[in-house]
Structure formats: C-alpha cells, structure tokens
Amino acid sequence: AGLPAARVPNARSALAPIAAAFYRHPGRQLRVVGITGTKGKTTTSTLASGILDSGDHRSGLITTVDFKIGARWWPNGTRQTTPEALEVQSLLRDMADAGCDYAVVESSSHALSPGWNRLGGCEYDLAVLTNITHEHLDYHGSFAQYRADKAELFRMLATSAREKIVRGELVRPPKLAIVNLDDPNAQFFLDSAPGVQAMTYAVAQASADVRAVDIVDSRTGLAFTAVTPQGQRRLELALAGSFNVPNVLAALCIGLSQGIALEQCAQALEQAPPVRGRMALIDAGQPFTVIVDYAHNPDSFEKLFAVMRPLTKGKLIALFGSAGERDLEKRPSQGAIAARFCDLLVLADEDPRGEDRNAIIAQIALGAQAAGMREGSGYLRIADRAQAIRAALAQAAPGDIVLLLGKGHEGSIIYADHKLPWDEAAEARAALAELGWRSVTRGQGDTGTR
C-alpha cells in the first residue's frame, strides 16, 4: 500500500530494464561480448575470457558452468545457462566495480527470447554465434522460433549503447557480429545485424576470415593451424575433440577483433585449463580412457561419437540417459546414434524429475534396439547412475574409451521429490579406486598408481 506500481504486459520481460536501471546500467561501463548457439557456448566463452585476460584486460564471465570476476571463480549453481535478469545485472555491476573492462556472457535462447528477456539492458558490443541445431523446441515451439530468439542477440547490437565509460575512459566500441560460416544458418544471423561489421570463421568455408587447417585429433587434445588476417599459427591444445575447433576459432576471432596479437591469443589458448565437465579426462593411471562430458542431445552425440570412434583401439563404451520432462522425441534418437558408433551402452538416470526413470530408459533403448543392439550384449539398463558408472568401468579393457555423458559439471541429479548431490568426475574417480586405480593427484591430467 502506498508504494509506486506500474502495470506491464509481461512482468518478467519488464524486469530486465528495471534491473539494469537499479544497478546503474553496468553494461555501459563494460565491453560486453554475447555468445549464443546450441553447443560450444561455455567452451567458447571460457576460452575468450582467457584470451582477454592474457593482455591488459580484465574480464568477467557468465556461463552455464562458472561465474568469474577477474581472477575469482565460483560455480554457477542455478542450473540456468543465463541467470535471471536481476542476477545478470548484479554480476555485471560487480564486474564493473571490480575494474573489469570486458564481460563475456553466455546467452541462451530462453534468456534472449522476448518473453523472458533476461538479457535486456546488457548493452552488447559483440554478438557471437557458435552453431544452431534443433534444441529446446519444447519451449520455443519450432526451429524457426528458436532461431529467431537466438538472433535477438544480433538484433540487440543496433540498440546497444554507442558510448561507454569503461575504467573511467569514454570509449565508442564498434559493434561486431562474429558468425560460424560453416553453419547453414550463418547468413540469417548476419542479416539480423544489418549495418554491423562482420567477422567469420570456419573449418570448411575457404572464404571465412579465420580458418583451421591440418587438424589432428587425439584422445587428450587437438592440434591445427589457424589461418588469420594476421598470418598463420600452429596451435596445440589440451582440449580433446575436433568438434571443439570451431569453438577455439570463435574465441580467437574475439581476441583478434579486440586488437590482441595472434601470438598472444595463441599462447592464451594453449595455456587454457580444461572447462569443467567438458571433455574432462579422468586419469587414475588406468589403461583405458575415461572422459566426462556434457553431451546430451542427438547432434552432440553424432559429433562426439564420430570423433571418438576412430580414436578407440578397443571398445567404445557410453553411459548416458535423457532428461525427464524435456524433449521426448530425442530419446530414441540418442539410443540409435549411440548404437551406431558404440560397442556397449549403459543407460542410466540423467535428471528424471517427475517422470518414471525406467520409462525414460526404455524409450532410449527403443532406439538402440532399432539400430540392432540387444539388451545384455549391446546395452545395459542401470538406472542408478553411481552403479551404472561402476558397471561401465568394470567392462573396460586396455585401449577402450569410456564416455560418461549428460551430466558434465552439474552438481545434482533431479528426481521428483529430491535432488541428489552429484559430482560425475568424483564418482568416476571413486569407481576407479574401487577397481584398484588411485590418482596421485586430483583433476584433469592427473597421474595414478595401482
């Protein structure tokens, strides 16, 4: 009573400009980089932040996995790629107050959609597209709408602040659209930012500004030659999976566009630590490879398995599930794709939520069966994820690769009535220890004894 109020058509959408004003428009004191796409956003964002920090810059970071302000990191515990508008603006304000001059913001389709508008008032200077495939259609309704909501990031460039006060200095940062030219929808996104300078990257398209050639993949990393307007540089990264090459190129484009020299960008990329839960190698000295990754949809399965199959000297074993109360149609596809590439599947809980965990697994199994797999010899159903991990690792022999998929960095498994605290990497290490393999140190690339 007695408090000022305003009636708006959509309170959630209106929250973003109110939050920006409440926190004194922090986006006007930062150069803001927005990164969107179906896959690769977190890796690209984290690599880009590392490149920016390698010079005279200080960056903040908002991703699915982590938040960062300068040198301070902490986990994103929200289970949202992009937090709510109030938290986004609060983080941007903290970045500006801490002396950051850049903010790198992983920008999800939900957050960009006009109905949610969590990112309104961020004042973007760079818009980056990694790729776009069918995802989140349960929310967006159609691929066309999903694509349109993603493109909102590029449309925002036209209305973002032209003048900013960054670290006390008046700057006029040019707006830039950075797009993966290999993606069939590249032109749509370029057209969504009319009059804005563009920079492109690609593996297959020779006309791109930044390209990758001579790609060499291994279980533990990748190497390629980056071809850029500043010349060529061979890169060797502790980042497994050639599907990560476009993510590296996108981060490289961000660095080069901000005046950072190719050699400095390259050194930052080569020194970058692995992203938590993304192609994370679990090494306890065992004679087979164990990798934890967030891959959880058909397209990411296709790309991941296509890379890992040729690198497998023995069996390729994959453990995964599918999220409850989410896209139902992808479940048989996940099973079918995995069955095409893998020798053994272990089907387990991901986040059943309110659905019957066994029914979810049965739907995945239908796809595996359609691809010719039989239960027992081709796939196992073990809903309890901890037991499933132990079963998968117990099946592994020297030269095999075991992929633990779908959870990545996530800190819980969601059931109807509770959240089970979860750490996939720690669970894998514990299971390996039970098999007699014990790490000397903890984390990626550790050594082990038996």
User: How many angstroms separate the CA atoms of 82 and 188, rounded?
Assistant: 23
Q: Is residue 1 domain-resident?
A: no
Q: How do strand 124-129 and strand 176-180 relate by DSSP bridges?
A: parallel
**Whole-structure pTM value:** 0.90
* Residue 368 or 328, more confident: 368
- Confidence band, pLDDT 50/70/90 cuts, at residue 331: very high
Measured CA distances, 390 to 76, 185, 295, 387, 418 (Å): 28, 41, 20, 5, 23
- Confidence band, pLDDT 50/70/90 cuts, at residue 448: very low
CA 247 to chain centre: 9
**243 and 306 housed in the same domain:** no
**259 and 305 housed in the same domain:** no
**264 and 293 housed in the same domain:** no
- Confidence band, pLDDT 50/70/90 cuts, at residue 2: confident
pLDDT at 447: 33
**165 and 258 housed in the same domain:** yes
Q: How many CA atoms lie within 13 A of 409 on its CB side?
A: 20
Q: Is residue 335 domain-resident?
A: yes
* Chain position carrying tokens 């300078």: 197
User: How many angstroms separate the CA atoms of 99 and 188, rounded?
Assistant: 36
**178 and 284 housed in the same domain:** no
**138 and 253 housed in the same domain:** yes
**259 and 307 housed in the same domain:** no
Which of 227, 246, 271 is the last residue before a domain boundary?
A: 271
pLDDT at 139: 63
Which of 224, 240, 271 is the last residue before a domain boundary?
A: 271
Q: Is residue 427 domain-resident?
A: yes
Q: How far apart are the first and last CA of the chain?
A: 69
**Which one-letter DSSP state was computed for residue 239?**
-
Query: Is-contact 269 260, C-beta < 8 A?
Result: no
CA 312 to chain centre: 24
Q: Is residue 4 domain-resident?
A: no
User: How many angstroms separate the CA atoms of 182 and 38, rounded?
Assistant: 14
**40 and 179 housed in the same domain:** yes
Q: How many domains does the structure of the chain reveal?
A: 2
Q: Quick one: which H or E segment has residue 219? A: none
Furthest-apart CA atoms within the chain: distance in Å: 72
**389 and 437 housed in the same domain:** yes
95-141 pLDDT, tens digit per residue, is 999 999 999 999 998 899 888 899 999 999 999 999 998 665 566 66
**52 and 103 housed in the same domain:** yes
Q: Is residue 366 domain-resident?
A: yes
**50 and 172 housed in the same domain:** yes
Q: Is residue 5 domain-resident?
A: no
Render the burial of 95-134: b for 16+ CB within 10 Å, e for the rest: bbeeebbbbbbbbbbbbbbeebbbbbbbbbbbbbbbbbbb
- CATH code of the domain covering residue 316: 3.90.190.20
170-192 pLDDT, tens digit per residue, is 999 999 999 999 999 999 999 99
Q: Is residue 118 domain-resident?
A: yes
User: How many angstroms separate the CA atoms of 444 and 436, rounded?
Assistant: 19
Measured CA distances, 181 to 22, 187, 402 (Å): 38, 8, 32
209-226 pLDDT, tens digit per residue, is 999 999 999 988 999 999
Q: What is the mean pLDDT of the chain?
A: 93
Q: Quick one: which H or E segment has residue 305? A: helix 298-311
Counting residues of the chain whose pLDDT is more than 70, the rounded percentage is 95
From its phi and psi, is residue 136 left (phi > 0), alpha (psi between -120 and 50) or beta? left
The DSSP-derived string for 110-147 is HHHSTTT-TTTT--EEEEEE----S--HHHHSSHHHHH
Handedness of CA 157, 161, 167, 170 (dihedral sign): positive
CA 379 to chain centre: 28
Strands (E), 321-421: 344-347, 379-381, 401-405, 412-414, 419-421
Identify the domain containing residue 377 by its residue range. 280-449
- Confidence band, pLDDT 50/70/90 cuts, at residue 199: very high
Which of 271, 291, 309 is the last residue before a domain boundary?
A: 271
Q: Is residue 6 domain-resident?
A: no
**116 and 26 housed in the same domain:** yes
Counting residues of the chain whose pLDDT is more than 90, the rounded percentage is 84
User: How many angstroms separate the CA atoms of 369 and 146, rounded?
Assistant: 31
- CATH code of the domain covering residue 240: 3.40.1190.10
Mean pLDDT, residues 338-367 taken together: 98
